[in-house]
Amino acid sequence: MTELSFIHRFEPTTDAKRPPLLLLHGTGGDENDLLGLGRMTSPGSALLSPRGKILENGMPRFFRRLAEGVFDEEDVRFRANELADFVAEARKAYGLEAPIAVGFSNGANIAAAMLMLRPEVLAGAALLRAMVPLSQAPDVDLAGKRVLMISGAMDPIIPAENAKRLAASLSASGAGVQHEILSAGHNLSQTDLQLLVRWFAE
């Protein structure tokens, strides 16, 4: 495996028509967590899966938080730029187009932050259980980028209003946002997978 700035897993494409995926795990996950989801979601896509560099009680994350649902926004900005630099490195090392991020929870939040801060790095994003990463959304042009957001109506961690605000903010920046709200909690369900597969097939 190529030495890059993040510990990561890479699986090369077996279907050049499929976009590469950037897989971003939730709190306590690692670079192996979402590989299965990536393979099922977009069979044949190249998969790039980094491990978050922040440890919270020994659990990897992509950025620091001050409390549940309260983010260290300075760290969010720093880490989103650091991760964007890694994606640029990996694209060069592995010969990839701009990937579509597939992020869960903390991984979805860093993906949303990357869309806002470094939009050129991602072709689009599937944000599973995401919330607003930056209280002041930067002025950014996301025209031409597709975003799928899947929220859980009974998610104890993310207020419904917060998820709606993120969807509205991304839409206002020009992204083509599809926001689905499932009768689910914070964990992923079979319906999440079905929605992902359908979205990638479109």
CATH number of 193's domain: 3.40.50.1820
Residue 11, token pair as written in the block: 């699986």
Domain membership flag for residue 32: yes
Domain membership flag for residue 1: no
Domain membership flag for residue 2: no
Domain membership flag for residue 73: yes
What pLDDT is stored for residue 12 in this prediction? 98
Domain membership flag for residue 3: no
As a dihedral over the C-alpha atoms of residue 4, residue 6, residue 12, residue 16, rounded to 10 degrees, the angle is -100
What pLDDT is stored for residue 142 in this prediction? 98
Catalytic positions: 105, 155, 186
Using one digit for the tens of pLDDT, what is the confidence trace for 122-147? 999 999 999 999 999 899 999 999 99
93-109: average pLDDT:
98
Say what the pTM is.
Answer: 0.97
Checking 88-96 for CB contacts under 8 A at 24+ apart, the result is: 88/121, 89/4, 89/5, 90/2, 90/4, 90/8, 90/10, 90/48, 93/2, 93/4, 94/2, 94/10, 94/12, 94/46, 94/48, 96/20, 96/46, 96/48
Residue 9, token pair as written in the block: 């897993």
- 2-11, 113-122, 144-153, 184-193: least confidently modelled range: 2-11
Q: How confident is the model at residue 189 (pLDDT cuts 50, 70, 90)?
A: very high
Name the domain count of the chain. Answer: 1
- Give the domain range for residue 33: 8-201
Using one digit for the tens of pLDDT, what is the confidence trace for 156-188? 999 999 999 999 999 999 999 999 999 999 999
Q: How confident is the model at residue 84 (pLDDT cuts 50, 70, 90)?
A: very high
Domain membership flag for residue 168: yes
Task: For the chain, give the secondary structure using H, E and C.
Answer: CCCCCCCEEEECCCCCCCCCEEEECCCCCCCCCCHHHHHHHCCCCCEEEECCCEEECCEEECCCEEECCEECHHHHHHHHHHHHHHHHHHHHHHCCCCCEEEEECHHHHHHHHHHHHCHHHCCEEEEECCCCCCCCCCCCCCCCCEEEEEEECCCCCCCHHHHHHHHHHHHHCCCEEEEEEECCCCCCCHHHHHHHHHHHHC
What pLDDT is stored for residue 41 in this prediction? 95
Domain membership flag for residue 94: yes
Domain membership flag for residue 133: yes
Using one digit for the tens of pLDDT, what is the confidence trace for 16-72? 999 999 999 999 999 999 999 999 999 999 999 999 999 999 999 999 999 888 999
